[in-house]
Amino acid sequence: MCNLYSMTSTREAIGKLFSVSGNRMASIEPKSAIFPSNDAPVVRPADDGERELIELSWGFMLPQKGLAPKRVTSVRDDKVRLSSFWRGRFNERRCLVPVTSFSQPKARSPARWHWFALKGDEPRPLSAFAGIWRSFSCPIKKEGEAVTIDVFAFMTVRPNKLVATVHPSRMPVILASPEASDVWLNGTQDKAFELVRSYPADFMEIVQAGSNRKDLC
pLDDT in tens, 58-105: 999 887 777 778 889 999 999 999 988 888 889 889 999 999 999 999
Q: Is residue 205 scored above 90 in pLDDT? A: yes
- Domains of the chain plus CATH, in order, are 5-210 (3.90.1680.10)
Long-range contacts of 63-72 (CB under 8 A, 24+ apart): 63/138, 66/142, 67/142, 68/139, 68/140, 68/141, 68/142, 68/144, 69/136, 69/138, 69/139, 69/140, 71/36, 71/37, 72/153
Name, in order, each residue with C-beta under 8 angstroms of 108's C-beta and a sequence gap of 6 or more: none
Whole-number Å distance between alpha carbons of 163 and 159? 6
User: Could you tell me if 146 and 157 are in contact, meaning their C-beta atoms sit under 8 angstroms apart?
Assistant: no
pLDDT score recorded for residue 89: 84
pLDDT score recorded for residue 212: 92
User: Could you tell me if 57 and 150 are in contact, meaning their C-beta atoms sit under 8 angstroms apart?
Assistant: yes
Strand arrangement, sheet containing 204-210: 31-34, 5-7, 101-106, 112-118, 204-210
With CA atoms as reference, report the closest residue to 200 among 156, 146, 160: 160
- Compute the chain's Rg from CA coordinates: 17
pLDDT score recorded for residue 67: 79
Q: Is residue 11 scored above 90 in pLDDT? A: yes
User: Could you tell me if 208 and 32 are in contact, meaning their C-beta atoms sit under 8 angstroms apart?
Assistant: no
pLDDT in tens, 125-183: 999 999 999 998 877 776 777 788 999 999 999 999 999 999 999 999 999 999 999 99
Q: Where does the pLDDT of residue 1 fall: very low under 50, low under 70, confident under 90, or very high at 90 and above?
A: low
Name, in order, each residue with C-beta under 8 angstroms of 25's C-beta and a sequence gap of 6 or more: 11, 14, 15, 52, 53
